[in-house]
Amino acid sequence: MPNTVLDYINEHADEFFAQGAEAERIGRLTDKTVQLLKESGAMRMLQPADYGGYEFHPRDFAETVMRLASLDPAAGWVLGVCGVHPWQLAYNDRRVQEEVWGTDSSIWMASPYMPGGVLIPQDDGGYRFSGSWQFSSGTDHCDWVFLGAMMGNADGSMAQPPQMVHVIIPRTDYTIVDDSWNVVGLRGTGSKDLVIKGCRVPEYRTMSWEDVSGGDGQRRSDRTQTLYQMPWSNMFPLGITSATIGICEGLLRQASTYQANRIDANGVNVKDDPYTMFEFGEYMADLRAARRELIDNAQYFWDVTERGDTPTFAERAAGRATQVRAAWRAARAANEIYARCGGNALRMDQPMQRFWRDSQACIHHAIHATNTVYHAATLSSLGAEPAGPLRKMI
């Protein structure tokens, strides 16, 4: 199936690039960028066909996010985050799918999944819901949101054992805190805070974390396509890590253009400096490897899923370690490349500095935390069964 979304982005590459600086200035995606993205159908890439989606292969989604992020980091990041939400909604209760997509299949959904709220059971079978959340990327342009929460008791106390839940909420039920996104990198993503003060949530708009992470919710769904059986721990990070790699590739492109005719402080044409050329070559290879690692990893889980197998925890842990390593490999390569571009690369009129700041901000996302992921992957490879926090986001 041709990737028409990627074709559109390539055709409008100059327009996407031109919007990046303005997005940083205003602290959210520009209206022009949103218009272009909606025209491209990018947010529909993982959306089910019966609701106007394209059901693209995860590889196509990753490559599209990388390309967009290399042009406009904020737009690539928002697509990487919000573009996965239709995939998760696709195997939720059909009632909420109809609520979200029934009258407008082009709407966007935000997040985050951090458990910032508590669900209090009500007599009617639903819940009362309150809380606050940070880092809701692209939220100004979204009409629904996935939010992480903890299950509570009727008296307001926390349920035991602790149970994490994903909750789906319409825009009318939460408030965006407009002045809450003042950061050094990824400013254009508009990843603002959200607040809810006591909205009602029907039971069918919730998903237990166990159902999401273990795949039980998918297996109960009537969607049997390979796409909607893929493990959450592979699909959810895919967009974020793809955006990270794409931003780093954008920095490399800016640096290569900048270095092509640069004369260094010693009066030497950089192209004639074998040391810089060696180092550029090394880190360019790291970026290529990071891209290939991530795409091959997605393909591996696609193949496992397509033949009807369920990936083991050890396989999922190894996959997460690969994703995390790809992100850090790319961000470190971008940092090294930028460091070799001289003092004038620090000037604010150089797009390079924006790509560099954004690339380093990417690895601050919780999905790129190395400690528990590497620990769990290593233990699993030795035949042990990781427990507790070591199973987090795997």
Can you give the pLDDT at residue 241? Answer: 98
In angstroms, rounded to a whole number, what is the distance separating the alpha carbons of residues 187 and 201?
A: 31
Give yes or no for a contact between 198 and 89, defined as CB atoms under 8 angstroms apart: no
Can you give the pLDDT at residue 265? Answer: 79
Residue 215 included in any domain: no
Residue 219 included in any domain: no
- Buried residues in 120-133 as b, exposed as e (16+ CB within 10 A): bbeeeebbbbbbeb
Last residue of a domain, one of 101, 132, 160: 101
CA distances from 321 to 291, 329, 373, 376 (A): 14, 12, 6, 9
Say if residue 94 is in the same domain as residue 149.
no
Say if residue 236 is in the same domain as residue 384.
yes
Give yes or no for a contact between 93 and 205, defined as CB atoms under 8 angstroms apart: yes
Residue 120 included in any domain: yes
CATH number at residue 144: 2.40.110.10
User: How many domains are contained in the chain?
Assistant: 3
Say if residue 41 is in the same domain as residue 114.
no
Residue 190 lies in domain? 109-207
Say if residue 154 is in the same domain as residue 192.
yes
Say if residue 198 is in the same domain as residue 273.
no
Residue 40 included in any domain: yes
Say if residue 370 is in the same domain as residue 260.
yes
**pLDDT beneath 70, residues of the chain:** none
Residue 218 included in any domain: no
Residue 87 included in any domain: yes
Last residue of a domain, one of 62, 77, 101: 101
Last residue of a domain, one of 207, 239, 268: 207
Q: At CA 146, angle to CA 224 and CA 116, rounded to 5?
A: 135
CATH number at residue 46: 1.10.540.10
Say if residue 192 is in the same domain as residue 310.
no
Say if residue 94 is in the same domain as residue 113.
no
In angstroms, rounded to a whole number, what is the distance separating the alpha carbons of residues 168 and 134?
A: 16
CATH number at residue 243: 1.20.140.10
Say if residue 239 is in the same domain as residue 366.
yes
Give the DSSP letter string of 128-189: EEEEEEEEETTGGG-SEEEEEEEEB-TTSPBPSS--EEEEEEEGGG-EEETT----SS-GGG
Say if residue 300 is in the same domain as residue 349.
yes
pTM of the model: 0.97
Residue 95 included in any domain: yes
| Tokens (6 digits) for 164 | 């994490």
In angstroms, rounded to a whole number, what is the distance separating the alpha carbons of residues 231 and 223?
A: 14
Say if residue 299 is in the same domain as residue 383.
yes
Residue 213 included in any domain: no
Closest CA to 238 of 63, 118, 117: 63
Say if residue 187 is in the same domain as residue 283.
no
Can you give the pLDDT at residue 192? Answer: 98
